[in-house]
Structure 1
Amino acid sequence: MASDKKSRRAVVARMAGAADRLFLPVLAGASLFIALSASFYRQIQETISPPKPTQTQGPRPDVTARLVDKVPVKDPDSPIWDNVPLSRISLADQSIIRPLKLSVPKETLNVRAAHDGEFIGFLLEWRDDIANTSAIKVPEFRDACAVMLTSYPAPPEARFMGTQTIPATILHWKADWQVDIEEGFQDLEKAFPNVSADMYPLLKESITGGKPPKTIDLPDFARIRLPGTWVGNPISQPKKEKPVEKIIAKGPATVTTLPTQDAVGWGRWRNGVWRVVLAKKMKASDQTAGEINIERGNTYSVAFTVWFGDQGDRGARKNPSMLHTLYVE
């Protein structure tokens, strides 16, 4: 009996082995057929409907610089700005460096950005009930605004005008500079119309009708006694070409005027609102000095600042924003 059972098991095993030898090639052939069919189907689908190119997923930008035909670099009221995305940016206090400013504006700063492949421009809009355009008298301070650009990603400390290793390019618009261009240099007579002079050292022959000579008319031998003007300090120069200064900074109290002043812009105050355009060339003119290059398709770190003259803002006393992301289409 035992031998019969053994014989039956051997017969069953041989039959199972034969079935495997017959079934496995059929299964392999079927699998190959299915794989080839799927590959052929994909090729047909790709021919009919090519796959969309994959895009690198970057950070969601806070500000997008829209591509336009021509950036209106001197026209804050241009209708082109109406077709550019609006970003609302909150302004913060400045509690790091004296003079401090601990108060914060209630309303946000409206920001729009556009580029045309040559210039990148920003339109800043904020409420300001009083237009402060003079800084001649001791208690007078001008309205101003600025855009700061640096690389992305930037550490949090880069918000304070860059770092030693991450320089910041700053575009700084000043209301009094624009008035100097529009109306001529604002000198002593602007603040004190009834000023008179009995004696002016070295320039007594220049006194006419009791009025001192204009700073813009001073000869070199007298200008040397005005240190800021003599050494070329841009704030001291009586003749302004543009209301926007292009600056490089590597941290607080390191602002330096760049050699090539090709930033442009213009501001307009109407019904308690400032609208100011600030723009720079996308290709840096002073790259060796640290100016940032702006390229299409890239993301940058950006921050904004507003100075309210009627609140005594000047220098470090201001309302800066946090660091935000800027995407350039």
Structure 2
Amino acid sequence: ASEEPGSVSVRLYQLEGSLPSEDPNSSQWDSVPSSEFNLAPQVHWPPRIQEVTVKSVKVKGVHNGQELAILVEYADPTEDAADAAALEFMVGDKPAHFAHGQEMLQVEGGPVNIWFWKNESGKAVDMSAKGFKTLETQPHQDVQAKGVWRNGIWKVVFSRLLKTEDAQDVQVEEGEWRNVAFAFWDGAVVDGLVKEKGGQKAVSTWWYVRAEPSADNSIFGWVILGLALAAAFELVIVRKLRKGQSV
């Protein structure tokens, strides 16, 4: 599938039936267009980091009207237990900084929903935050994740229902834009210490994500009706011309 360089959004393309939510290497992903986003070291707040392993991430997304799946693919030369990835979403309409919804100058701060995956556990954790030191695991876990490392590439797929009953969760409506950000940790051990952990990570700023709306059958109905009327009108004109009548 084609790639969108310098992307600003992730489109969740609609598929019929079951999604490849448990298999990052499923052939279903092959035909899904990807978007690519650059990443940078987290340098705003301590503990800072000046150089990170993951420089960019390719993202694909699909949904079937009920469930969504988002695949992230990125380069990491080694598989380590502490390797990790996260998606972050704004919750509601209140602007939030991509750093855990932290309040900043001209940004009041607001709740965010974080989907976190770590290789060591192999599972997703559904989390919420409203700023620094407020990060917490939600009582009800709605997100699943599966990661596969092969030949220096991580592929991690996150999945969840489009809508949940949890007010702390991002709610995804077909056709509506939401804000999303990405973060990644290289868990390689260097001199006895994990290379990237906590605030030491590769991050993106806010971008956009949208579940593509279902095809509106009424539109196709109007198109078909228009074509039928045009054909009927053309038939009337042809008949009049054959009879020598003016049109």
TM-score with structure 1 setting the length: 0.56
Q: Quote the offset at 1:92 in angstroms.
A: 1.2
- After superposition, give the CA deviation of every residue in 1:201-254 in whole Å (9 maximum; x if it has no partner): xxxxxxxxxxxxxxxxxxxxxxxxxxxxxxxxxxxxxxxxxx000001112232
Q: In the superposition, relative to structure 1, how do residues 125 and 256 fare at CA in structure 2: closer, same or farther (>3 Å)?
A: same
Q: In the superposition, relative to structure 1, how do residues 85 and 151 fare at CA in structure 2: closer, same or farther (>3 Å)?
A: farther
Aligned letter for 2:179? S
Match of 1:14 in 2: none
Q: Tell me the percent identity.
A: 30
Separation of aligned partners in 2, 1:111 and 1:170: 16
Is residue 58 of structure 2 the alignment partner of residue 110 of structure 1?
yes
Match of 1:80 in 2: 28
Separation of aligned partners in 2, 1:75 and 1:86: 17
Q: Quote the offset at 1:123 in angstroms.
A: 0.5
Q: Which has the larger Rg?
A: 1
Separation of aligned partners in 2, 1:303 and 1:245: 16
Q: Which segment is superposed worse, 70-79 or 300-309?
A: 70-79
Separation of aligned partners in 1, 2:134 and 2:29: 33
Kindly report which structure 2 residues correspond to 1:1-329, keeping only aligned pairs within 5 A, or say none.
62-69=9-16, 70-105=18-53, 107-133=55-81, 142-151=82-91, 155=95, 158-163=97-102, 166-178=110-122, 243-287=123-167, 290-310=168-188, 312-329=195-212
Aligned letter for 1:160? A
Separation of aligned partners in 2, 1:73 and 1:149: 19
Q: In the superposition, relative to structure 1, how do residues 320 and 61 fare at CA in structure 2: closer, same or farther (>3 Å)?
A: closer
Which SS does the other structure have where 1:80 is aligned? helix
Q: Quote the offset at 1:152 in angstroms.
A: 7.9
Contact 1:307 1:319 (8 Å CA) reproduced: yes
Match of 1:7 in 2: none
Aligned letter for 1:116? N
- After superposition, give the CA deviation of every residue in 1:150-194 in whole Å (9 maximum; x if it has no partner): 158774x5211225753111110110002xxxxxxxxxxxxxxxx
Q: Quote the offset at 1:119 in angstroms.
A: 1.8
Q: In the superposition, relative to structure 1, how do residues 61 and 108 fare at CA in structure 2: closer, same or farther (>3 Å)?
A: closer
Q: Quote the offset at 1:315 in angstroms.
A: 1.1
Separation of aligned partners in 2, 1:100 and 1:61: 25
Q: Quote the offset at 1:86 in angstroms.
A: 0.4
Separation of aligned partners in 2, 1:106 and 1:118: 32
Q: In the superposition, relative to structure 1, how do residues 294 and 314 fare at CA in structure 2: closer, same or farther (>3 Å)?
A: same
Contact 1:76 1:268 (8 Å CA) reproduced: yes
Contact 2:180 2:208 (8 Å CA) reproduced: yes
Contact 2:54 2:202 (8 Å CA) reproduced: no
Separation of aligned partners in 2, 1:291 and 1:106: 27
Q: In the superposition, relative to structure 1, how do residues 154 and 108 fare at CA in structure 2: closer, same or farther (>3 Å)?
A: farther
Q: Quote the offset at 1:295 in angstroms.
A: 0.8
CA RMSD in angstroms, aligned pairs only: 2.0
Which SS does the other structure have where 2:120 is aligned? helix
Q: In the superposition, relative to structure 1, how do residues 306 and 327 fare at CA in structure 2: closer, same or farther (>3 Å)?
A: same
Higher relative contact order (CA 8 A, sep 6+): 1
TM-score with structure 2 setting the length: 0.73
Listed as ranges, the gaps of 5+ residues in structure 1 are: 1-59, 134-141, 179-242
- Structure 1 segments, 4+ long, off by >3 Å, are 104-107, 151-155
Q: In the superposition, relative to structure 1, how do residues 153 and 64 fare at CA in structure 2: closer, same or farther (>3 Å)?
A: farther
- After superposition, give the CA deviation of every residue in 1:28-81 in whole Å (9 maximum; x if it has no partner): xxxxxxxxxxxxxxxxxxxxxxxxxxxxxxxx9521111112221110011111
Q: Quote the offset at 1:127 in angstroms.
A: 0.8
Q: Quote the offset at 1:97 in angstroms.
A: 2.4
Separation of aligned partners in 2, 1:247 and 1:108: 23
